[in-house]
Amino acid sequence: MTVNRAMIVTASQLATYDQAKEAILLWGVMGDGLGTHVTASFAAGVVAADVVKTRVMNMKVERGAAPPYAGALDCLLKTVRAEGPMALYKGFIPTVSRQGPFTVVLFVTLEQVRKLLKDF
């Protein structure tokens, strides 16, 4: 994964985390605490397990040749046509099992740093 692709993944996870946290607080499900941070973090981890996004990010582009996918929708259609709809769930459990805890630690730590820097 190149640095640019890694930044996009992190940005999409951050956006998902912030949206999930905002929704939890807005709906009054939980207060702004560890439970909210863990739940929103896990939601961001699930988003990171997206097969289409992973395939688009990892596609090999040969010099002078067209890329295998024109974008996420093209990848989705080609994957379903070639492998069937269940291909969209390939590796989902292992990926969430790996990505979920990492994302939880990442965003819970982020919240603690935000709390520390709030007064500066």
pLDDT tens across 42-60, in order? Answer: 888 887 788 888 898 889 9
pTM equals 0.71
Q: Tell me the one-letter amino acid at 104.
A: V
Encode pLDDT of 47-99 as tens digits.
Answer: 778 888 889 888 999 999 999 999 889 999 999 999 999 998 888 888 888 88
| Average pLDDT of the residues in 13-35 | 93
DSSP percent split of the chain into helix, strand, coil, nearest 5 = 75, 0, 25
Map tokens 């969430």 to a residue.
96
Cα 10 to Cα 62: distance, rounded to the nearest angstrom = 26
Q: Residue 41: name the closest of 59, 61, 21 by CA.
A: 21
CB atoms within 10 A of CB 25: 14
